[in-house]
Every structure is written in structure tokens, then in C-alpha cells.
Amino acid sequence: MNKKISIAIDGPAAAGKSTVAKIVAEGLEYIYIDTGAMYRALTYKAITNQIDIKNETELMKILNDSAIELLPGKAGQIVLLDGGDVTNDIRTSEVTNNVSVVAAHEAVRKEMVKRQQRFAEQGGVVMDGRDIGTHVLPNAEVKVFLLASVEERAQRRHSENIQKGYPSDLEILKQEIAQRDKFDSEREVAPLKKAKDAIEIDTTSLSIQQVVDQIMKLALERIG
């Protein structure tokens, strides 16, 4: 049987992490873990329960009481929060604009990282986020850091919104993405940063398939 490796995919917002991670995981028959969805689920719960997202103690109370499950679904990953399907609820702009504050708390990250490492215990995992190669899976056999210009990333989200029939403003998206990247990169705990041993791929002018091919090549080299 082939060796089951771990693949860490990090990078800024809308660089294509989850899209390519999902395809790579399907190709290898690995588990796909979208760690951003976990921070989003907690943010959604905090907003719904009117918790002050700056208050770490309050956030930890609800996190310790929360079951966050990530399941494979036909149209992508399904996110369950305490047994209820929140897959779409966690993608609203209200959640998107508050999630970085939630994710900056040290205690929150410690607990999330523990849960993520548990998901990856058996190997055979493709995990995407901001700190996977640096903190969650520092020994991952393949580490990739995806990049793209902020204009390209905003345009990708814009096209996605239009396709789904959601209201969308390209300029506002550009500002929101730049602001979230800055916040994620400058926070004290586990900031968004390329791991020293990660391969950087600038996807600005690459298709999804071209990015997938590059990651699959790296993975197959390591699987042997």
C-alpha cells in the first residue's frame, strides 16, 4: 500500500486553496480539511449567540461546548455545527468580516489546532488554512503556499458571487480581502506566513487545473 502523506496548503484569502485542496484530496482519495470553516463556524455561533468576539473567555466557553464536523459532500465539504448544517451560513459577509478577530485569540487557536491535528492523525489528509505548514502540520510531507495578486483574488470572489446570484462589489471585495490579509499576517499568534520549506505557487495567471497538477506532482513524488 502507498504511504499516506499529509499535504498543507496555506495562503491569503481567495488564492484558490480550498478549490485545489478539494480536487487534490479527491484525486488521492484523502480527507480534505478546510480549517477556515472551523473558525467561521465559531464566528457564526458567536454572532448568533450575541457573544462579544473580542472576549476570549466568552468565546472559549462556546468553543468548548461546540462540535464542529467537516464531512465530504457531493457539492463540496459540509460543515456541521452541533449537528446542524451551517455550510452556507458560515460564508455570509458578516461572518467573513468578523472571523479574523475570532481567529486571532491564542486560546481559540490552541483548541482549533488540537482538533485539526486530531483529524490528521492517520495521515492521508489535505488541509488548507493560514498556519498549516507552520504550526498545525509542521512535518507535512508537502507544503504549498498559494499566492495571487489582490486584484485577481477579488475578481475570483466577485465572479463566484455573481455566479451564485449574490450581490457583489469588486472594489469593496478588494478592500475587504486586503484588510483581512493584513490582519491575518500581522496578528501575534501563528500569523499567515509561508513556511520555510513550503513551495510557493503564484496562481495569478494559472488555471485551477495547472495548480492542481503542480501539487499532485509534488505529492506523487513524496508518495513514491
Q: Is 43 annotated as a binding residue?
A: no
Strand partners, 143: 8
Q: Is 159 annotated as a binding residue?
A: no
Q: Helix or strand or coil: residue 83?
A: coil
**Angle, CA of 133, 136 and 137, to the nearest 5°:** 55
Q: Which residues 141-170 are close enough to bind ligand CDP by CB under 6 A?
A: 156, 160
Q: What are the strands, taking DSSP E only, across 2-99?
A: 6-10, 31-34, 68-73, 76-81, 84-85
CA dist 36 and 203 (Å) reads 20
Nearer to ligand CDP (CB atom), residue 189 or residue 220 = 189
Of 14-22, 50-58, 168-176, 213-221, which segment contacts ligand CDP by CB under 6 A? 14-22
All three cell numbers of 161: 458571487
Considering the rule CB under 6 A, would residue 87 count as an interface residue with ligand CDP?
Answer: no
Q: Is 11 annotated as a binding residue?
A: yes
Q: Is 191 annotated as a binding residue?
A: no
Half-sphere exposure for 44 (CA within 13 Å, toward CB): 22
Residue bearing cell 495578486: 149
Among 24, 41, 131, 158, binds ligand CDP (CB under 6 A): 131
CA dist 199 and 217 (Å) reads 12
Considering the rule CB under 6 A, would residue 134 count as an interface residue with ligand CDP?
Answer: no
Q: Which residues 92-121 are close enough to bind ligand CDP by CB under 6 A?
A: 99-100, 103
Nearer to ligand CDP (CB atom), residue 40 or residue 45 = 40
Q: Helix or strand or coil: residue 35?
A: helix
Task: Name the nearest CA neighbour of 6 among 131, 174, 137.
Answer: 137
Among 15, 68, 70, 126, binds ligand CDP (CB under 6 A): 15
Q: Which residues are annotated as a binding site for ATP?
A: 11-19
- Would you tell me which residues interact with ligand CDP (CB under 6 A)? 11, 13-19, 35-36, 39-40, 99-100, 103, 129-131, 156, 160, 180, 184, 203, 206-208, 211
Q: Which residues are annotated as a binding site?
A: 11-19
